[in-house]
Copies of this chain bind each other. A is one copy, B any other.
């Protein structure tokens, strides 16, 4: 049992080391995405060393598999593990990283439980495995180790706490072993950037993906869809993507992948109409194949030995299955202009009334089992569908309900059947630690206030979407709230030059476009150095701004790029606390000036979501068009400079739709605001536009602003 084994570490790039424990199988998250690390970008980063020596990592054989033991210091905080709804800092918790559609308890299970974490001591660790991993984040204490003997008395000791002080993170790896990858970084952000670049860099969505999305109700036919799309134009509400939900298929549980002849008798004609109206179309589907699907007979033999909803669960790791799936999707969808997919139900559930998924003991023709396939199903489908568009030199952007490690380069955003607004914001924050994107999609609301608060949040998220599949809501469903909702959907459209540039940095530098607060460099009084760490900053959980009762490390606010801080409001609230990192900040719409490095208390009426802009920020904004410009279309740019300090912004341009940017067909232009000796400001734009880009025909500068002065 004790059979400890030395790990042989190989340096993969500056600040990245890997080792293999046991004899891991060939199928794993990184083998599925098949991406190459972005070595050039990695080389450009600051060098960094691990905060401990590699010899301090212990391994041990246990009855259940391999155990890995990593040093953990006293105040060290642990973040990551993919999409997590309940906690941001996992210190003291045990995380059971199983793909599961019902993440209603704080176990670590989730739609996208990534076996990657980062700590504020300045390192990250990835277990590259298709199996379920259990991580004890300081929730275990071995007898005879550091904290042994700190027994307290709950009878009388007010300092007694259930969670022990542990000196180790313990990770239970599968019996067959796995690859372990370590990432160093001077800051947590650098660690996360290394992880993202090692995964192949972050995704750069097509520009239309950053517009507004609307999913129509289940059972709609083509004329229902066209009528509803038209209403967006008539009401002056921007919208780029219409999503079709169950009902467009001839059969949906299991699926045929083919159009319903009753509801969509002429899909090509339907798509032409949608394109003329300026809409992209996204199709809902799931992985389980109806016996009535084209090619079912062949694919059934290439499927797992358990059915789901009476359909086959294909072995999507097999090239033959991939060819069948891609061929069908190309002929039926991509050839007529479908822009992407919503990949549903690929996570699985065992709960009441929804016990569906092949079991862990299912066997697949590739030799892998149900546990491995379930952990990777979402990743396999993302890879397969995005590859389909890549071969046509078109970018896609879509939705997926399951993911895993290495997903940063995949153009997919996670969602869930859960619907707690606070959890949705926490999930958005947490996703930034592990190369994931999350949409706090709006479906319905308890009342107009809840509706507005949710719509405001989603407009400041990776995918701004109303998903009306079940409720049939529209942006104008609450007439009294329609003006507010329209204003924020328009503001979303205006922000696209900023958002798109921020995503381009995700691709190029690995910097998450949306960032949880612990990733933000800050030396304000509310933070202090991790005394045992080296360079990471750590919030003080015991007192000060981070100690507010019931809170958890400001998991209800986040940043978009380096300039915008979003602090969503929740129904029932008229005020909230916001932590502003050091420096000076302005209310984006209120113009109020705030000094950062502290928590502030703000009021916010229903017509405002609190968004803050850094002093010196340079925000490029475009007009609130009905839809984003197509490749080559040019629009005027308004450049807002905020506050008293000079500043700069790297504006990214390309055609917004293809992969030509990878061959250099793109431009990074610096928007620079200098302060003249007389105290006035001057702006300049460096470089030249990319000729194919859907770029900007003019630049209008607005210096020293304290709020957005554009029309509502």
A residues neighboring B (CB under 8 Å): 1, 62-65, 67, 86-87, 92-94, 96, 102, 104-107, 134, 136, 139-143, 147-155, 160, 162-164, 170, 172, 218-219, 246-247, 249, 251-254, 260, 290-292, 300, 303-312, 350-356, 358-363, 369, 371
Contact = CB atoms under 8 A, between A and B. Distances in A.
B369 A106 contact: no
12 contacts: A62-B363, A63-B369, A86-B352, A107-B351, A136-B359, A140-B362, A155-B218, A155-B252, A162-B309, A163-B355, A164-B307, A164-B356
Contacts of A148: 307, 310
B360 A141 contact: no
B351 A105 contact: yes
B172 A361 contact: yes
Nearest to A291: B151
A94 B172 contact: no
Contact of A151 (B311, B360, B362): B311
A353 B91 CA distance: 10
Contact of A172 (B141, B143, B153, B360): B360
A422 to B, nearest CB: 15
B253 A160 contact: yes
A162 B290 contact: no
A630 to B, nearest CB: 33
Number of identical monomers bound together in the oligomeric complex: 2
Contacts of A63: 361, 369, 371
Contacts of A251: 151, 153, 155
A418 B507 CA distance: 47
Nearest to A248: B155
B310 A358 contact: no
A92 to B, nearest CB: 6
Contacts of A160: 253
A400 to B, nearest CB: 20
B64 A360 contact: yes
Given A155-B246, A162-B309, 7 more contacts: A92-B355, A93-B355, A134-B360, A141-B307, A154-B252, A163-B353, A164-B307
Contacts of A352: 86-87, 93, 106
A617 B624 CA distance: 80
A151 B369 contact: no
A149 B249 CA distance: 18
B305 A142 contact: yes
Nearest to A148: B307
Nearest to A87: B352
A155 B94 contact: no
A160 B1 CA distance: 49
